Chains A and B, each alone.
Chain A
Amino acid sequence: MTFSFRIQLFAVTQVILTAFLTYFFVTNEYRDLSEQNVTALESFLLEQKQQELKNYTAIAKASIQHIYAGAAADDPVAQKQVADILSTLIYNGHDGYFFVYDDKGTNIVLPTEPYRVGQNYWDLRNEQGDPIIQILIDKAKSGGDFYRYPWNQPSTETVTEKLSFSDFLPKWGWMMGTGVYLDNVNQQLVTIQSAIDTHINNTRFIILFVAMSSIFVIFGIGAILHFTQKKENDKQIDQLGQKIVTLQEEEQRHISRELHDGIVQVLVSIKYSLEATCKHLGKHDIPKPQPLQQAQTNLSNAITEIRRISHHLHPRILDELGLSAAMEALAKEFTERTNIDVTITKPALSKLLPDHINTTLYRVVQEALMNIEKHAQATHTSIDLAIIDNWLTLTIKDNGVGMLKANLENPSESGIGTRNLAERVEYHRGQFMLTSSSKGTVMTAKIPRSAFAYHYTQQQIDNPTTETV
């Protein structure tokens, strides 16, 4: 696991943790707050309803006052009148009405269900077993109070929670009450609760969104950083690779030169010394001894062998005569070996290129010719070297059957591979192209003139002796 990946993982974990904690606390806070709000609202609404009920009761009492005040304790006419008035007091559609029971639980007024009038409900109980009418009567007797219980709601024909206020008419022993159904209060509370839930959901979504986008951003930036870093690394590796190749070529060139201009020359001098010895012996009429003959033969073989090795390491002609001449030599050798024709076009000038570019282009020609020999089945090849429009362009063409890229890209046992060649050419700010079809293969290497334009002039400055000779 790379360092940058670890940092990314750490950051993502951090984001997830933060998001989770934020979500947890915000949701909790929100819920607490909403519960408090809902409770407060509920009690406010209930208070409002209670006030309302008290007011209704006060109005009702006022509307029967003129009869009740002057009536006797047992006055059926007045009682009938009062019952009639209370039956007509309807509010809130059909849901707001007054009911009256006597202190024995017998119904006297119930406008929504008149058939219950005269029946006794003393023992009417709710699901919890509370005697509803008894409780209402007790609360009325104790000076008037509120009571919540389930009751049939006329407008919906369903049993709903009802809040009633009961008061007492002591002269007749009547419990008079009225109530409101709490369904719309509950409805309001549910609406508010769901609005709050929606808010919580939104918050949750926002936190999730922020967290996710943070994670994406972290990964995105990480990926970009990783990519640019990789690109940078690749570039450095390429450069290092080319540096190694350049050093290797330099080393080979050096050894080749040491062999050719050093050791071989020493051997040549020995050869002439041996010849001089022979001549000396001849002068004194002494026959040439066999070992001396052997030494001369062996020496010649040694010279040939070392020259071969030197040439293989680095062709000296490239340094002495330049790329054009080295290409010609390569082509001649190629034609002799393969019988494939080579035509060469080259500039009239020579030694324009610095050694490393020279060597690179020479290796391009070498690789191209080797590929042609191995894969192309060509009968003709052309090598063109020209400086046109600020570019030195080297083109090697054949009329063969084309080659598979895969065969060319990777180094063969004797070659260096076109991919490596391309890297070497690009190292000199150049371009490398390879196109192959059934009509033949074209390999092109281009080097910008700016990469070598200084070279010839610089050489003249570096070698002032050439000017004074």
Chain B
Amino acid sequence: MNIPSIKVMLVDDHPMVQDGLSACLSFYDDIQIVGTCNDGSQALSTAQACQPDVILMDISMPTLNGLDATEIITEVLTDTKILIFSMHESAEFVTNAVQSGASGYILKDTNSEEVYQAIKSVAQGKAYFSSSIAKMLIDNPPTQASPRLTAREQMILSYIAKGQSSKAIAQTLDISFRTVEAHRRNIKSKLNIDSLAELVRYAVNQGLVDS
């Protein structure tokens, strides 16, 4: 029994769900709940404090939803895997989750045995999707006809449009300069735009920032 246990953190705005799930997972010896928090906006600091291997992340939460939180956490904690644990059963959520950097997606009515399996798979670096989700992805493979900016990219675009430099943005968001620059490149390639002036014009035209 010397297998190192998987450190799991739960992010869910319903303490009762956390308690119920914790109770179930406590029966598995190789899983250890290292932290919980109730909102996406506290997820990063909690994760930084308890360094989990896997985060079980709910989507619908009061101030910052799980998908946006996922993007922010994976930016900083590259070794932490995120497993979305949500009530939403539609392909768009799954596609968005994958785009945000989640490694798996399970539904909240999944039984605890499967939750356990999912945590283990994700911890090993594999992707895991509930069977109904997997079926949905096979039936309707995500189309990438029009590239979509992620929430984080969109936020950075709005800062760029407001005239902030990459350095200033890095400071504001408390991320590295290189991450901002990477986002910037992604935004430009997704929107097929080369110059800063065009980026700004695009953001204003789309109503992202108030002109």
Contact = CB atoms under 8 A, between A and B. Distances in A.
Nearest to B111: A275
A279 B110 CA distance: 15
A363 interface: no
Interface in A423-469: 449, 452-457, 460, 463, 465-469
B14 interface: yes
Nearest to B209: A457
Count chain A CB atoms within 10 A of each CB in B40, B41, B43 and give the residue with the most.
Answer: B41
B208 to A, nearest CB: 5
Given A268-B87, A469-B72, A332 B149 contact: no
Given A271-B109, A279-B27, A320-B59, A469 B64 contact: yes
Given A273-B23, A387-B205, A329 B91 contact: yes
Count chain A CB atoms within 10 A of each CB in B20, B63, B88, B147 and give the residue with the most.
Answer: B20
A304 B155 CA distance: 35
A69 interface: no
A305 to B, nearest CB: 12
A397 interface: no
Contacts of B173: 467
Contacts of A468: 174
Contacts of B155: 460, 466
Contacts of B147: 348
Given A268-B20, A272-B112, A303-B109, A325 B96 contact: yes
- Interface bin, chain A: 35 or more
A352 B208 contact: yes
Nearest to A392: B207
Interface in A276-323: 276, 279-280, 283, 300, 303-304, 307, 316-317, 320-321
B17 A269 contact: yes
Nearest to B211: A453
Nearest to B109: A303
Given A269-B20, A272-B24, A347-B146, 15 more contacts: A265-B14, A268-B109, A273-B20, A276-B20, A276-B24, A279-B112, A320-B60, A320-B65, A321-B93, A348-B147, A348-B190, A453-B207, A463-B63, A467-B173, A469-B44
13 contacts: A264-B108, A265-B16, A272-B112, A276-B23, A307-B89, A345-B146, A346-B146, A347-B206, A350-B151, A455-B207, A456-B158, A460-B155, A465-B63
Interface of B: 12-14, 16-17, 19-21, 23-24, 26-27, 40-41, 43-45, 59-60, 63-65, 67-69, 72, 87-93, 96, 108-109, 111-112, 140, 145-149, 151, 154-155, 157-158, 172-174, 190-191, 205-211
